[in-house]
Amino acid sequence: MMPRWRWWFLGALVLAVVIAAIYLPILRRNIRQAAKLQQRSEEQARRELTQPTVINPSDPRVKAKLFWASGADDGTVSAVTVELPLAKDPVLRAKQVLNTLLAGPVDTELRTLPPDAALLAFYLLPDGTAIADFSEAVATSIPSGIESEQMAVDSIAKTLEANVPQVRRLKILIHGQEVETLAGHLDLTQTFLVNANAMLGPQAATAPAATALTPAPAAVKLAEPARKP
Amino acid sequence: MLLDVGLFLHQSIRRNVWIAPAVAAAFLAAATGAASSFSGGTSSPLAAQQTPPAAAPAQPATTQTGSTAQDPATQARAGLNIVVLDPAHGGTDLGARGTGGIHESDIVLDFAAQVRTALESQGFQVVQTRQGNANPSFDDRSAMANAQRGAIFVTLHIASTGTAGTARVYVMSDMPTGTDATGLILWDRAQAPFASLSRKLGDQVQGLLAQRFKGSPANAQTASVRQLRTTAAPAIAVEISSVIVEDRAQLDHMAPGVADAIARGAAAFRPTYVVPANPGERP
């Protein structure tokens, strides 16, 4: 015959297990929701800090060239001329054209960048190096592949080249970080040459247009592969 | 130290197997020439000895086993004889994903098996960067090619865009060459000295792909492909369109044609590639 206190003890244990079985999934769900909310609020805060540059109607209206997919299904981008009021300040101007590029063309099939992507920040260094920081959606929502990723970079670089002559090189960051590739293929560790002809002088003016997007080497010299930890 | 010397000799013998029949042929030619000179012949033994060694395997010289030196395997040893084949992605990196559950990482592995067979039939030795569902880093994959002497590198991809049933070859965009103080090619710019060779190889393969798959471009295109940048060898990326097919069989049907184009393209490229003396050297 078991003493009564053991029955009470066993009963309490069973009750604790039942409560835990009910409570733990709820707790896990709450933690996930909190994490999501925190992630969203960080992204939201960042977006609020870097509000898309509002086009000022008082700026002079110019014919901007924006590069989207050509529609020939051959991996090329082609220019579409859009009349926009653009600022004279190169950083502001670059933000304006890139935000218009991200908004996409009338024909959504010709998009080169995902619709949920956003430009988080844009910097222009004195040597002409532009740093464009995009939200993670640029990397996660873009169709994976060499062709699609190259088109995305081409559209950004050529749009800057056509509208912001001060930009010489382009470095693309994703959510403030340097990443190895855009979506598994295209190299983002290097900078891309923009306005290469202007930078290299008249000799390069006859160079084919393809060289305009040549990746420029990073300053870092590595004789051996850098191992990831 | 002795072990190192032994290893060096072993590797030298393996790499220079053609020397034996070449020397034998030269010796025989010298002897024949000497005999001819005694009999008033015009052939010069010196001329025979001065024949470039690389040309020797092309001559029908008798080997110790009695077979001729013209078989593809022996010819291959004289120059380009290794293809490093890279089925892209793998492991948790599935690559491009189609709506029908098609994963790039799976398909390229199946393609690689067929490409390998086609290359081996052309006398190439094939080194694969991954056999199963592993995911070596970009640098590890490049390192496999960079450690070889006389290799080319082919990375296989399936796109999520492009007209279904087409195939494109990419070579690395032009980049400035760079060497360190000791003259070694910088890892980050390893592809730079091989850019023109990669272009030749790419155009060869793309031309053959265009013949088989209508709508494919006639020449190789340039792109800043991460995998190619650190590869110190003629290197191309072959991308097939696309994972957005309704039935995977559509892609599977392309595999023999892609394999044949890569193998024939590599074989056509072989005579134009003068292999550097050591791995990592400029071409």
- At B17, the pLDDT band (50, 70, 90 cuts) reads very low
Alpha-carbon span B266 to B209, nearest angstrom? 13
- Residue A186 domain-assigned? yes
Nearest to B237 by CA among B86, B98, B130: B86
Q: What is the pLDDT of residues A189-226, one digit of tens each?
A: 999 999 766 544 433 333 333 333 445 544 333 344 44
Specify the pLDDT at position A142.
94
Nearest to B223 by CA among A82, A108, A148: A148
- The answer to whether the Cβ–Cβ distance between B160 and A143 falls below 8 Å is yes
- At B67, the pLDDT band (50, 70, 90 cuts) reads very low
- Asked if the bond preceding B242 is cis, omega within 30° of 0, the reply is yes
Give the list of residues 6+ apart from residue B116 with CB closer than 8 angstroms, or none: B85, B126, B128
- The total number of structural domains that make up chain A: 1
Residues B86 and B231 sit within 8 Å (Cβ to Cβ): no
- CB contacts < 8 Å between A and B, how many? 118
> Mean of the pLDDT values across residues B53-73?
35
DSSP state of A57: T
- Residue A205 domain-assigned? yes
Q: Does B71 touch chain A (CB under 8 A)?
A: no
Q: What ipTM score was computed for the predicted complex, to two decimals?
A: 0.71
- Residue A103 domain-assigned? yes
- At A39, the pLDDT band (50, 70, 90 cuts) reads low
- Average per-residue pLDDT in chain A? 83
Higher pLDDT, A188 or B79: A188
- Chain A residues closer than 8 Å to B181 by CB: none
Query: B76-272: which CATH number, 1.10.10.60, 3.30.2010.10, 3.40.630.40, 1.20.120.450?
Result: 3.40.630.40
The HSE-up count of residue A171 (CA atoms within 13 Å, CB side) is: 23
Q: In the sheet where A169-174 sits, what is the strand order?
A: A119-124, A129-134, A169-174, A191-193, A215-216
Chain A interface, best mutation among B182, B224, B228, B238, by max A CB count within 10 A: B224
Specify the pLDDT at position A53.
59
- The answer to whether the Cβ–Cβ distance between B239 and A227 falls below 8 Å is no
Instruction: Name the residue ranges covered by the structural domains of chain B.
Output: 2-62, 76-272
Q: What is the pLDDT of residues B85-130, one digit of tens each?
A: 999 999 999 999 987 788 999 999 999 999 999 999 999 999 999 9
Chain A residue nearest residue B161, CA to CA: A148
Q: Which residue has the tokens 């559950």?
A: B101
Residue A150: which of B96, B174, B223 has the nearest Cβ? B223
- Chain B residues closer than 8 Å to A196 by CB: none
Q: Which residue has the tokens 């070694």?
A: B184
In whole angstroms, how far apart are CA B207 and each of B200, B210, B281? 11, 5, 29
Chain B residue nearest residue A143, CA to CA: B160
Q: Does B199 touch chain A (CB under 8 A)?
A: no
Percent of chain A, pLDDT > 70? Answer: 76
Percent of chain B, pLDDT > 90? Answer: 55
- Residue A53 domain-assigned? no
3-class DSSP state of A173? strand
Residue B223: which of A186, A190, A211 has the nearest Cβ? A186
- The answer to whether the Cβ–Cβ distance between B175 and A217 falls below 8 Å is yes
Residue B139: which of A74, A218, A225 has the nearest Cβ? A225
- Residue A54 domain-assigned? no
Q: Compute the nearest-CA separation of A69 from chain B (Å).
A: 12
Residues A118 and A47 sit within 8 Å (Cβ to Cβ): yes
Alpha-carbon span B37 to B263, nearest angstrom? 46
- Residue A97 domain-assigned? yes
- Chain B residues closer than 8 Å to A224 by CB: 187
Chain A interface, best mutation among B138, B161, B185, by max A CB count within 10 A: B161
Percent of chain A, pLDDT > 90? Answer: 63
Task: Quote the domain boundaries for residue A192.
Answer: 61-216
3-class DSSP state of B212? helix
- At B245, the pLDDT band (50, 70, 90 cuts) reads confident
Sign of CA dihedral A159, A160, A165, A169: negative
Nearest to A68 by CA among A27, A115, A24: A115
- Residue A229 domain-assigned? no
* Residue count (chain B): 283
Alpha-carbon span A220 to B179, nearest angstrom? 12
- Average per-residue pLDDT in chain B? 77
- The answer to whether the Cβ–Cβ distance between A217 and B142 falls below 8 Å is no
Q: What is the pLDDT of residues B174-207, one digit of tens each?
A: 877 777 777 777 898 999 999 999 999 999 999 9
Which of 162-181 (B) contact A at CB < 8 A? 162-163, 168, 170, 173-176, 178, 180
